[in-house]
């Protein structure tokens, strides 16, 4: 017997018929003798509807009341799934975040989990053999007692945190794809589903554009060593496929040099020309951006020949581009730059793989292949297990396909077809 946490996203519970399908997945695990907790998202589209209602009621709404409203979507799903499981003869009850409790800080709309008491859930398993159906995405501010939400994708984080709290043997994240792929199959039809991915690789993929898991959920899984599967809820509940296991590096026997290619279109480039080169200049540029909660990436500084000025190039999310420009233009006299140039027609492409630690020249090989295709690289960043490049967005598909083939990630001819 194992203790499992299963998480189902919005598309998996989009209507009653799909909720019945989810219930069959849960019943399969219960019939196998496992203790099961289920974490659910709001039905597809419901959170957007609730957010729109808040904005319609008042553009400057109270963040605490916003959380009270948007958290209701998961409450509805949890109740409906519990009812459906009961109809199948499975003992189940719904739980809200505050009932467990899932304790968080007070950052409404983007709260972070500070602790979970899993004792009541474990009691429900051991004494009553009862399935716990838990509303994801939500918790309770341990100081004020108000409902909080964890931000978009927060149900993934709820599931992994609960798995850690109840000492689950594994956490299965059910979504609309059957695992983690070497890249987006919509861009590269020959992309392959990965059997296993290390926590570090998945963290890089999630932060660099892959949409399979929320970054925070991967961080928690890595910290607490929660073995996590990504699986498809649209598989036949009686014959599910294994999906992709996210695990420790030592659990992966064969390590490819490059595991996957990720890309992000949500990028913008800013270049400050002929900035006065003196101590504190970086702080004067990036400090105000940090204060405005603008994430900065891919910083490149090039010193001029006379060493008195420098050019500084960096990237920000495309959604923050206008605000970043405004902040820098307002501080032009303080920063002392000659011109500000920007571009939003750029994309960040990354190659990720723990095998890079022991192989030299991986990035250089990629740069040569892209150059042969006439693709110019605007910026480069590297780490121990990945390199990222910034290129013109019109070359996105060509660059992804080029790197995917270069590093041997294309599906072999005898492999079964991919399913997005």
Angstrom distances, CA of residue 288 to CA of 194, 353, 360, 373: 41, 34, 38, 39
Has 175 been labeled as part of a binding site? Answer: yes
Has 5 been labeled as part of a binding site? Answer: no
Q: Please give the Cα distance from 195 to 349 (Å, whole number).
A: 23
Identify the burial level of 39 via C-beta atoms within 10 angstroms of its C-beta, where 0-12 means exposed, 13-18 middle and 19 or more buried: buried
CB 338 within 8 A of CB 349: no
CB 207 within 8 A of CB 215: yes
Has 302 been labeled as part of a binding site? Answer: no
Has 174 been labeled as part of a binding site? Answer: no
Alpha helix (H) ranges present in 35-71?
46-57, 63-70
Beta strands 131-135; 113-116: pairing state: unpaired
Q: Please give the Cα distance from 162 to 188 (Å, whole number).
A: 35
Closest CA to 274 of 309, 325, 313: 309
Has 186 been labeled as part of a binding site? Answer: yes
Alpha helix (H) ranges present in 71-198?
72-87, 119-128, 154-165
Number of CB atoms found within 10 A of residue 305's CB: 6
Q: Please give the Cα distance from 20 to 12 (Å, whole number).
A: 10
Token pair of 32 as six digits:
């196998």
Angstrom distances, CA of residue 262 to CA of 96, 152, 269: 35, 20, 18
Token pair of 64 as six digits:
């605490």
Has 10 been labeled as part of a binding site? Answer: yes
Q: Please give the Cα distance from 34 to 27 (Å, whole number).
A: 10
Beta strands 379-383; 386-392: pairing state: antiparallel
Has 212 been labeled as part of a binding site? Answer: yes
Has 47 been labeled as part of a binding site? Answer: yes
Binding residues: 7-10, 47, 74, 175-176, 181, 186, 211-212
Binding residues for ATP: 7-10, 175-176, 181, 186, 211-212
Binding residues for substrate: 47, 74
């Amino acid at each position: 017997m194992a203790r499992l946490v299963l998480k189902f996203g919005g598309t998996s519970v989009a209507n009653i018929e799909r909720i019945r399908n989810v219930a069959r997945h849960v019943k399969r695990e219960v019939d196998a003798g496992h203790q099961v907790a289920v974490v659910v998202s709001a039905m597809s589209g419901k959170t957007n509807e609730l957010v729109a209602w808040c904005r319609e009621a008042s553009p400057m709404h109270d963040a605490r009341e916003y959380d009270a409203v948007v958290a209701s979507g998961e409450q509805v799903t949890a109740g409906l799934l519990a009812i459906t499981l009961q109809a199948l003869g499975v003992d189940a009850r719904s739980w809200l975040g505050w009932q467990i409790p899932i304790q968080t800080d007070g950052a409404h709309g983007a709260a972070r989990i500070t602790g979970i008491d899993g004792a009541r859930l474990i009691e429900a398993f051991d004494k009553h053999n009862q399935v716990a159906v838990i509303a994801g995405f939500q918790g309770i501010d341990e100081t004020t007692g108000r409902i909080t939400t964890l931000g978009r994708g927060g149900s993934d984080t709820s599931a992994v945190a609960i798995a850690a709290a109840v000492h689950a043997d594994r956490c299965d994240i059910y979504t609309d794809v059957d695992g983690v792929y070497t890249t987006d199959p919509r861009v590269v039809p020959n992309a392959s589903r990965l059997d296993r991915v290390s926590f570090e690789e998945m963290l890089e993929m999630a932060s660099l554009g892959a949409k399979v898991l929320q970054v925070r959920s991967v961080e928690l899984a890595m910290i607490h060593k929660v073995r996590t599967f990504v699986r498809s809820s649209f598989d036949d509940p009686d014959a599910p496929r294994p999906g992709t296991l996210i695990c420790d590096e030592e659990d992966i026997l064969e390590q490819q040099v490059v595991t996957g290619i990720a890309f992000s279109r949500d990028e913008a480039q800013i270049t400050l020309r002929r900035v006065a080169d003196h101590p504190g200049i970086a702080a004067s540029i990036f400090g105000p951006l940090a204060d405005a909660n603008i994430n900065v990436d891919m910083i490149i500084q090039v010193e001029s020949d006379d060493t008195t000025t420098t050019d500084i190039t960096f990237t920000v999310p495309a959604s923050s581009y206008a605000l970043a420009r405004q902040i820098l233009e307002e501080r032009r006299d303080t920063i002392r730059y000659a011109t500000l140039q920007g571009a939003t027609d750029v994309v960040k492409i990354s190659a990720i793989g723990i095998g890079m630690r022991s192989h030299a020249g991986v990035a250089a090989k990629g740069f040569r292949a892209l150059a042969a295709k006439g693709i110019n690289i605007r910026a480069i960043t590297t780490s121990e297990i990945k390199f990222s490049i910034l290129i013109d967005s019109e070359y996105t598909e060509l660059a992804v396909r080029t790197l995917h083939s270069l590093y041997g990630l294309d599906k072999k001819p005898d492999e079964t077809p991919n399913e997005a």
